[in-house]
């Protein structure tokens, strides 16, 4: 059976899944793994196809998960962090000399920037299981500190499946 490239269309452009939908690892560097709280999904950085990007793998179904709307063209992604069911994915995107903390909602296929009020360096986001809180390093005060961002009580939290 030959390898087939799967191309998915989304509002933000096209997304290409890895050519072998069953292979979690490749001959290229795979790094910075993040496991969802329920242990089903794995998000990580991959250097396949000569570019650095975030991939998500469903460990139960043994296949890659499409992430339509996760637009990373022209940016360097790093430090993925998943919520309990993998609905929310927090990560850093570096565009030139600016780092942004972003949150991708897999249910609606949209990404939002979360660090509008922070100046200076940010790093290593860690998403709470329900997706409401994100802890991260910040250099806003001239030294490394820990910040916790509360997305608010009105967000749709990531819940355990019934």
Find out whether 83 and 151 touch, Cβ atoms under 8 Å.
Answer: no
Q: Is 5 contained in some domain?
A: no
What's the domain count of the chain?
1
pLDDT band at 98 (very low <50, low <70, confident <90, very high): confident
Domain span holding position 45: 30-150
Whether residue 3 lies inside any domain: the answer is no
pLDDT over 90 (residue 16): no
Residue 12 has a pLDDT of 37
Please give the average per-residue pLDDT across 137-145, as a whole number.
85
Q: Give CA–CA dist 21/71, Å, rounded.
A: 20
- Cα end-to-end distance, the chain, whole Å: 37
Exposure string for 83-102, b = 16+ CB within 10 A, e = fewer: bbbbbbbbbbbeeeeebbbb
Confidence label for 79 from pLDDT (cuts 50, 70 and 90)? very high
Torsion angle of alpha carbons 70, 76, 79, 82, nearest 10°? 0
Structure tokens at 17: 């899944």
Judged by DSSP in three states, 4 sits in coil
CATH number of the domain encompassing residue 77: 2.120.10.30
- In a domain, residue 162? The reply is no
**Residue 142 pLDDT > 90, yes or no?**
no
Look up residue 127 and give its two tokens: 């998403």
Percentage with pLDDT > 90 across the chain: 46
- Per-residue pLDDT, 133: 96
């Amino acid at each position: 059976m030959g390898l087939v490239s799967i191309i998915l269309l989304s509002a933000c452009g096209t997304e290409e899944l890895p050519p072998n939908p069953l292979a979690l690892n490749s001959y290229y560097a795979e790094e910075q793994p993040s496991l969802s709280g329920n242990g089903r999904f794995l998000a990580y950085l991959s250097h396949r196809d000569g570019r650095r990007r975030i991939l998500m793998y469903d460990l139960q179904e043994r296949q890659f998960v499409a992430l339509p709307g996760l637009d990373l063209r022209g940016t360097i992604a790093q430090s993925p962090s998943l919520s309990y069911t993998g609905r929310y994915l927090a990560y850093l995107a570096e565009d030139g000399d600016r780092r942004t903390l972003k949150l991708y909602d897999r249910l609606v296929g949209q990404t939002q920037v979360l660090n509008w009020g922070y100046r200076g360096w940010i790093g290593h986001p860690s998403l709470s299981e329900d997706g409401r809180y994100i802890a991260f390093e910040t250099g806003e005060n001239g030294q490394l500190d820990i910040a916790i961002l509360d997305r608010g009580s009105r967000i749709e939290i990531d819940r355990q499946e019934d």
